[in-house]
Amino acid sequence: MGAYDGHIGAREGSVLLFTVLGSMLFLQYPQYLVSVGGPAAWQAALLVALFGLVLALPIVALGYRFPGRGLAEISREVAGSVFGPLLTLAVSAWIAVAALVTLRNFTETFVITIVPDTPPSVLIISGSLLSVYAAYRGVEAVARTALALLPVIAAGGLLVLIFSLPRVDTTLLFPIWGFGFDRTLMGSLYYASTAAEVIVLLAVGHAFRDGRSLQHSSLRGILLFGLAAAATVAVLVGIAGAPLARQEPFPLYFLARLVYLGRFLQRTEALIVMFWILAALIRLSALMSATAISLAGALRLPDYRPLLFPLATILSALSLLPKDYVAVLRLDREWMRPLGFAVLAVPLLLWLLAVVRGKAAAPSGEAAGHAS
């Protein structure tokens, strides 16, 4: 990119990915895992993370082969000036749809749970404007915001889990492998594309100084997400039991409402949800940045910033298209997740092409000059 965007370190990158993925825990993702694994949902969470790690390996390999380059530059160099930008456009379209689904999903969640009188358009416009602002300040700012807000967001999740522990019935976590090993394994494989958002890191790959930073960010981010998801669904199933947990549309909110530490600390879900809003905004900002940067790269624009506002306007308008919350969920579950595999296939394809065609970045100088 032409404008200065700064750099993302390994710590910031991993926290960014963790927040991008982890924010889904506040939505329906725990419900998906329970539907796959039942009492063994926590094992499904770990399996999903494991599969996600495997699927992210081509991204890591590309990061090492093309340090300091983003998806747009890599695809153009590897797949040529026609096919490369088309691949980038396809990926950016998926990220854009992920952004609009996120926007609508969080909006519906907040409206249903804590702000029933607020028009969804207010939430959508607020979220879009803030994500534009964050993306405008640069992907470095988004990653650093994720790191700075991590204690708050983690507290929002951890406090719920810790305060819910007294209600956990460990017998509800058995039998091991829940509905059966095969079903848990196959279900986990289906949801492995949950980690497809790791493509965001490749899209902003120019912000990583080297392949090692990208590797640490990708793998640590997915691993942290897997652990957080396992802990969340374990507590959820331990309290509600698999049948009830599978039907709960807002599992973590359900847990938050149960928090009661005497009469002094009660009904704190509104405060806790406030922390989740921060996670949602980080996810949205990261997706918006990645979409705009990929688009600008594919279209060979010198800067991505002019795209942000039009992009946000289009996404906000499109996010209102699904007629209801169920339509949003179906879009996410039946289209976005399966297409996530296709998105993750792009880095694999690029890596194979790079290996076959012997393409790699110049060993030094160019990447460093680009990044600075």
Give the nearer residue to another protein in terms of CB position, either 65 or 209: 209
Of residues 16, 78, 96, 147, which one binds another protein by CB under 8 A?
Answer: 147
**Shortest distance, CB of residue 116 to another protein, whole angstroms?**
11
Give the nearer residue to another protein in terms of CB position, either 230 or 282: 282
Give the nearer residue to another protein in terms of CB position, either 54 or 271: 271
Residue 54 lies near another protein (rule: CB under 8 A): no
Question: How far is it, in rounded angstroms, from Cα 205 to Cα 213?
Answer: 10
**Shortest distance, CB of residue 127 to another protein, whole angstroms?**
8
Residue 140 lies near another protein (rule: CB under 8 A): yes
Residue 254 lies near another protein (rule: CB under 8 A): no
Residue 214 lies near another protein (rule: CB under 8 A): no
**Shortest distance, CB of residue 126 to another protein, whole angstroms?**
6
Q: Say how far residue 56 (Cα) sits from the centre of its chain.
A: 13
**Shortest distance, CB of residue 339 to another protein, whole angstroms?**
29
**Shortest distance, CB of residue 34 to another protein, whole angstroms?**
28
Of residues 13, 58, 70, 138, which one binds another protein by CB under 8 A?
Answer: 138
Residues 7-36 that bind another protein (CB under 8 A): 9-12
Question: How far is it, in rounded angstroms, from Cα 101 to Cα 118?
Answer: 19
**Shortest distance, CB of residue 118 to another protein, whole angstroms?**
7
Give the nearer residue to another protein in terms of CB position, either 86 or 270: 270
Give the nearer residue to another protein in terms of CB position, either 111 or 227: 111
Contact 40, 237 (CB under 8 A): no
Draw the binding track, 91-130, toward another protein (x: CB under 8 A; -: no contact).
-------------------x---xx--x---xx--x---x
**Shortest distance, CB of residue 95 to another protein, whole angstroms?**
20
Task: Name the nearest CA neighbour of 107 among 315, 305, 309, 259.
Answer: 315
Q: What is the dihedral of CA 217, 220, 223, 228, to 10 degrees?
A: -90
Task: Name the nearest CA neighbour of 94 among 330, 337, 352.
Answer: 337
Of residues 234, 277, 308, 361, which one binds another protein by CB under 8 A?
Answer: 277
Number of residues that bind another protein (CB under 8 A): 39
Would you tell me which residues interact with another protein (CB under 8 A)? 9-12, 110, 114-115, 118, 122-123, 126, 130, 133-134, 137-138, 140-142, 144-145, 147-149, 263-264, 266-268, 270-271, 273-275, 277-278, 281-282, 285
